Amino acid sequence: MSSNAGPEPEVFRVGDSLTIAFMDTPNVIPPFEGRIKEDGTITLILNQSFKSDGKTRGDLEKDIRARYVPDYFKQMTVTVKQQENTRWFYVNGEVRQPARQIYTSRITVLKAIASAGGFTDFANKKKVKLTRLDGRTQTVNCLKALDNPRLDPEVYPGDTIHVPRRLL
């Protein structure tokens, strides 16, 4: 651990929405606006792909500039900004307080359900459905995940967790 008492720089995560501006180029390049894909990348001009998940703003700006200068442009200034109000996930179904939740840092399905007040008495804890922003789904057995954290997947901004009602 470093002795620097300052806050750690925020890192980008899957699902974050970014605006990337390109300046000081011979032609105007429209800014990129989009989300970090599930594989942790973004694809920018000239079909160049960049790993963004886990990077700080400064590191991503350096990586982008290094890829384009001098191969494509003599000069380029890159500015990366995270769009505000884009970091939400949703918990619904048989939880005590179904609602969208603010995504502030890494969180798992069990912690997300706890943030929504926990399961109701009627929840089917074995068939919790996690739907990713791109529409992919997976079923999580929360009873097994309690004993084995590897079975408790990470939740990303834009994901939806649905806790179904169990049959009586």
Q: Range(s) for CATH 3.10.560.10 in the chain?
A: 88-163
Rounded Cα–Cα distance for residues 40 and 83 (Å): 17
Cβ neighbors of 62 (< 8 A, separation 6 or more) are: none
Percentage of residues in the chain having pLDDT higher than 90: 70
Q: Which CATH class is domain 17-82?
A: alpha beta
Radius of gyration of the chain (CA): 20
Residue 77 near residue 34 (C-beta atoms within 8 A): no
CATH number for the domain running over 88-163: 3.10.560.10
| Angle at 39 (CA atoms; ends 35, 45), nearest 5 degrees | 55
Q: Range(s) for CATH 3.30.1950 in the chain?
A: 17-82
* Full strand arrangement of the beta sheet holding 160-163: 99-102, 88-93, 160-163, 128-131, 137-140
Residues 108-132: tens digit of each pLDDT? 999 999 999 999 999 999 999 999 9
Residues 29-76: tens digit of each pLDDT? 999 999 898 899 999 999 999 999 889 999 999 999 999 999 999 999
